[in-house]
Amino acid sequence: MLLLLGRTVVEIPGGLLTGKRRLLRQLVEVGVNSFLLVAMISIFTGMVGALRTGYELTGFNLQEAIGTIVGLSMVTEMGPVITAVLIVGRVGSAMAAELGTMAVNEEIDALRAMGINPLRFLVVPRLLAALIMQPILTIYGTLIGIWGGALIAATYLRVPTTIYYSRLYTAVTVSHVRHGMIKSLVFAAILATVCCYMGMNTKGGAEGVGKATTRAVVISLTLVLIANYFITRYLGVE
């Protein structure tokens, strides 16, 4: 898989010159078509986080710190991870299934026979789309989640919105935002590489496509969580 990623990176300049339409199609598939799902999951994530945190802090009369906790958790952890999980499930599985179908139907071999580089034609647009749209979706989901937390804080926990956002702005720094963006880029590279690799190496007909798609999703999610730990451990913001 690392070899596939390296070879794909080498093909990016050529892919940009010859595959702008394919890239645009993937940008729509990865990003535009995911906005609603990301919004729905993120807002409830922020609401649950604020609700659970508020219940615990109320006992210590510290409910005004909800903005700090929800903001930091959404920016550095929940935003990037939840978005990555959603994209793996919705987009990554589609990548693996589509490329897997092409592999078992020998369409990828046909591209090679016509002198077309499959990496440039198939993988580059998907990798670039993931790298471009994953951070955008992460920012979008994080903001929606923070807003959901503010909604719960104001309506159920009686924490004024001004205090919620004031504490959030004080706690969240540029370093925290950069931390979240690094995670989103790493997660994007993981899901695109794994899903494309599994799809392009599919064998065994329709059954093989199903198995390859399942493996792609499971491996991607596992690697995302492992990467999340190591990024938090070694690049975490105090």
User: What tens digit of pLDDT does each residue of 93-129 get?
Assistant: 999 999 999 999 888 888 888 888 888 888 899 999 9
Instruction: Compute the average pLDDT of residues 34-39.
Output: 94
> Does residue 172 belong to any structural domain of this protein?
yes
| Parent domain of 107 | 2-233
Tokens 């070694």 identify what position? 234
Look at the chain and report how many structural domains it folds into.
Answer: 1
> Does residue 194 belong to any structural domain of this protein?
yes
> Does residue 158 belong to any structural domain of this protein?
yes
C-alpha dist (Å) from residue 113 to 4, 110, 121: 20, 5, 13
> Does residue 238 belong to any structural domain of this protein?
no
> Does residue 214 belong to any structural domain of this protein?
yes
Question: Model-level pTM?
Answer: 0.91
> Does residue 200 belong to any structural domain of this protein?
yes
Q: Which of 134, 145, 108, 120 is nearest to 29 (CA)?
A: 134
> Does residue 183 belong to any structural domain of this protein?
yes
Q: What digits encode the pLDDT tens for the residues 157-191?
A: 888 899 999 999 999 999 999 999 999 999 999 99
Q: Which of 80, 63, 49, 92 is nearest to 187 (CA)?
A: 80
> Does residue 205 belong to any structural domain of this protein?
yes
